[in-house]
Structure 1
């Protein structure tokens, strides 16, 4: 498995509280769940914690 540029920079690092190593934004809850489902196996394999925030943002 090839590492992405982001993974190479974050490999072996731990996030500080309230300072995530990365952030991915999607427009609605359904794609957020799809992204979470797709990234979970990868995150486990490289020992990263994955969190999903399903709050709606209105403008």
Structure 2
């Protein structure tokens, strides 16, 4: 999935737009393109991966 994000401290990354893998596709079921989200990402098997995601309030 492609996300525009702010800094991600645990990955030592600045804000940018980039593509992430998704740990479990079912976490995307309630989201649609353009939704503002809060997410956690980590390196999983060497890939930047969204491990949790939810719509922002």
TM-score category, normalised to shorter length: under 0.3
Instruction: Give the TM-score taking structure 1 as reference length.
Output: 0.20
**Greater Rg by CA:** 1
Greater percentage in strand: 2
